[in-house]
Amino acid sequence: MIEHNVINNTKLFILLKKYPFLEAYFKDNNFDIIGHEAGTFSSFLNTLDEEYLEDMAIDKHEACRQLSTYLNSMLEFLGEDKTDVLSITIFPGTNKSGEKENYDKLKINKGDIVSIVGPTGSGKSRLLADIEWVAQADTPTKRKIFVNDDVPDNKWRFSIEDKLVAQLSQNMNFVMDLTAKEFVELHARSRMVENIEEVIGRILTQANELAGENFAPDTPITSLSGGQSRALMIADTAILSKSPIVLIDEIENAGIDRKRALSLLLSEDKIILIATHDPTLALLGDKRIVIKNGGIDCVIETTAEERQVLAELEVMDKRTKEMRTKLRNGERL
Amino acid sequence: MNFITVSGPPSSGKTSVLLKTIEVFIDRGLKVGVVKFDCLSTDDDLLYKKMNIPVKKGLSGALCPDHYFVSNVEEIFQWGLDIDADILISESAGLCNRCSPYIKEIKAVCVIDNLSGVGTPKKIGPMLKSADVVVITKGDIVSQAEREVFASRVNAVNPASIIMNINGLTGQGAFELASVLHNDKSANIETLTGKELRFPMPSALCSYCLGETKIGAEHQMGNVRKMDIKND
Ligand SMILES: Nc1ncnc2c1ncn2[C@@H]1O[C@H](COP(=O)(O)OP(=O)(O)OP(=O)(O)O)[C@@H](O)[C@H]1O
Ligand SMILES: Nc1nc2c(ncn2[C@@H]2O[C@H](COP(=O)(O)OP(=O)(O)O)[C@@H](O)[C@H]2O)c(=O)[nH]1
Ligand SMILES: [Mg+2]
Ligand SMILES: [Mg+2]
């Protein structure tokens, strides 16, 4: 932790050289420090006239305090040894009728794929929300979540940089007006990655492989097809998102290689949770959590027989895919 | 009584998030009152009424809604005490992105949505910069990457705040927000008299503020400032 005074007594050019991310920070806060690098941040603030300070709603004292808060939080984020999340453990709470849940404890390890099944309104989303909030018996289900076999740090709840969970939503639209490359670059910069070009290249390559149907880096993201958008979202989340857990709310079958998508996520060392009604997807998991009446009713391990079923389903899926291609090409089915 | 001031651009999801959050408070046996501030009209009060939440609305009309807020907040607070509320919440739409109705020592929440674009956080003044909690809504319509970029931009302009993603439609996250806004550590506020705004409001008083409608230099008095328009 760098003392507030030290930061505010250091010349700007030194700060910028040591902490290049501050350049974006000053820009985001409308501090036009160009030409003032030889002085300190406070001396820069002193060059601004009262009218400007009032217009831009800048309080000098606050601005200095904010700079040190930001710098310190970024240093913590960049410098700290990232706690590697090896497992999460879910301890039972109660179902909607207030009865204790029917399992001992449930440990999910890095590299696991777990699907979550159950009727509408049964509490699937609540379970996912409990994990995201690292519940400590303080949600309606009274469940407790441990990280790495221990009471979790509060940072998982509140830090923007250290989110436990990334979510691949059902939605397949982008709203930004950027090309695929610009989009990934924007994300990479906000994540402070170092070898930006290489990372961008990797994401775009992976996305193209997942989508099957290629797109160029300069394609506007808003004109990607549904499958391409989803492929880009998955590749981007797998590679750039720091969150150790990825929640997936149904990956639609259309236009994307789902098995490959999961193995991409796994290769990036994630824990994967999938809420789904699709048998193929559910069977890709190592186990599935069955939710009834708000509680975890049981946990079913995927058996060898079920994997056989999966093979059958995959043959059927493949056949459907072939039919679709024929249909597209104007052939007879 | 706990007092929570909520503010944010129009249609960012303030009412939706509040309705879901208040539901949680009510489930916890707490009594909640709401005051809605707006300019010209609002139907939000009806939404709160529908949930049997006591509500007052204040329309500022020709006045700046945040100035109007400060001038009325003491009376509003008294109303909260009179109805025996545990929590009083004010909802106001930030219209010029410059003002904010936040008061020192009173929990301040800014609601802003993912759809407003990554450039937005830096355009919003104290309403965002001086909030204790920033709620980001409409994450369901954008990708994980867009959510992450947006949150990091918010963090850059307000690094000390707690940033939470809440879905105003499904209420995902509302339970958690409720725990952040009201817990054992929440201050019991007895009066607002003498408390201070977190940030001064702009000192704008020109002839147009006072009802002038005609265009032309001779009609302009008071705090008038001219744009710098150069021919290049
Ligand atoms: N154990 C529990 N105790 C009390 N309330 C619960 C419990 N589990 C879930 N709930 C509540 O039940 C409601 C429905 O749960 P949820 O939204 O998680 O269902 P879902 O399975 O995701 O449904 P859908 O398939 O429609 O998405 C929520 O309001 C949730 O908070
Ligand atoms: N998709 C989506 N829509 C939302 C969300 N939150 C609010 N909305 C919608 O956004 C619109 C404006 O919300 P409202 O709560 O009235 O905003 P306010 O003006 O800030 O009070 C409404 O149509 C809401 O249903 C959200 O998280 N996701
Ligand atoms: Mg759900
Ligand atoms: Mg509203």
Give the pLDDT of residue A76: 77
- For residues A179 and A217, is the Cβ–Cβ distance under 8 A? yes
Model confidence pLDDT, tens digit, residues B27-85: 999 999 999 988 777 888 899 999 999 999 888 877 777 888 888 999 999 999 999 99
- Do A167 and A72 lie in one domain? The reply is no
Edge-first strand listing for the sheet containing A87-91: A106-109, A87-91, A144-147
pLDDT reading at B112 higher than 90:
yes
Averaged over B111-125, what is the pLDDT?
89
- Do A103 and A70 lie in one domain? The reply is no
B interface mutation test: which of A52, A59, A125, A160 has the most B CBs within 10 A?
A160
Domain interval for residue A130: 87-302
* Contacting residues of B for A138, CB less than 8 Å apart: 179
Nearest Cα residue to B21 out of B182, B191, B132: B182
In this structure, is residue A209 part of a structural domain?
yes
| Cβ pair A29:B157 closer than 8 A | yes
Strands (E), chain A: 87-91, 106-109, 113-117, 144-147, 165-168, 245-249, 271-275, 287-292, 295-301
Our count of domains for chain A comes to 2
**Any ligand 1 atom below 6 A from CB of A125:** yes
CA distance A318 to A167: 27
pLDDT band of residue B103 (cuts 50, 70, 90) is: very high
Structure tokens at B209: 């503020």
pLDDT reading at B19 higher than 80:
yes
- Do A108 and A220 lie in one domain? The reply is yes
| Cβ pair A171:B172 closer than 8 A | no
- Do A60 and A106 lie in one domain? The reply is no
Look at phi and psi of residue B194 and say left if phi exceeds 0, alpha if psi is from -120 to 50, else beta. Answer: left
- Cα→Cα distances A117→A15, A120, A250, Å: 52, 9, 11
- Do A250 and A210 lie in one domain? The reply is yes
- Do A251 and A124 lie in one domain? The reply is yes
What is the predicted ipTM? 0.81
Q: Which residues of B97-128 are buried (b: 16+ CB within 10 A; e: fewer)?
A: ebbbbbbeebbbbbbbbbbbebebbbebbbbb
In this structure, is residue A331 part of a structural domain?
no
User: DSSP secondary-structure letter at A153?
Assistant: P
- Do A52 and A141 lie in one domain? The reply is no
* Distance from Cα B72 to the centre of ligand 1, integer Å: 40
Residues of chain A with pLDDT under 50: none
Model confidence pLDDT, tens digit, residues A248-287: 876 665 567 788 888 888 888 889 999 888 888 889 889 9
Report yes or no: A160 at the B interface, CB cutoff 8 Å: yes
* pTM, to two decimals: 0.85
Give the pLDDT of residue B53: 95
Average pLDDT of every residue of chain B: 88
Report yes or no: B10 at the A interface, CB cutoff 8 Å: no
- What domains can you pick out in chain B, each with its CATH number? 2-200 (3.40.50.300)
In this structure, is residue A320 part of a structural domain?
no
Shortest Cα distance from A298 to chain B (angstroms)?
24
pLDDT reading at B118 higher than 90:
no
Structure tokens at A262: 């999961």
Which residues line the pocket of ligand 2, CB cutoff 6 A?
Answer: B 8, 10-16, 137-138, 140-141, 167-169
Which A-chain residues 112-131 have CB contacts (< 8 A) with chain B? 125, 129
Nearest CA to ligand 2 atom 7: B13
- Do A97 and A74 lie in one domain? The reply is no
Write the CATH number for A144.
Answer: 3.40.50.300
Report yes or no: A241 at the B interface, CB cutoff 8 Å: yes
In this structure, is residue A328 part of a structural domain?
no
Report yes or no: B223 at the A interface, CB cutoff 8 Å: no
Report yes or no: B171 at the A interface, CB cutoff 8 Å: no
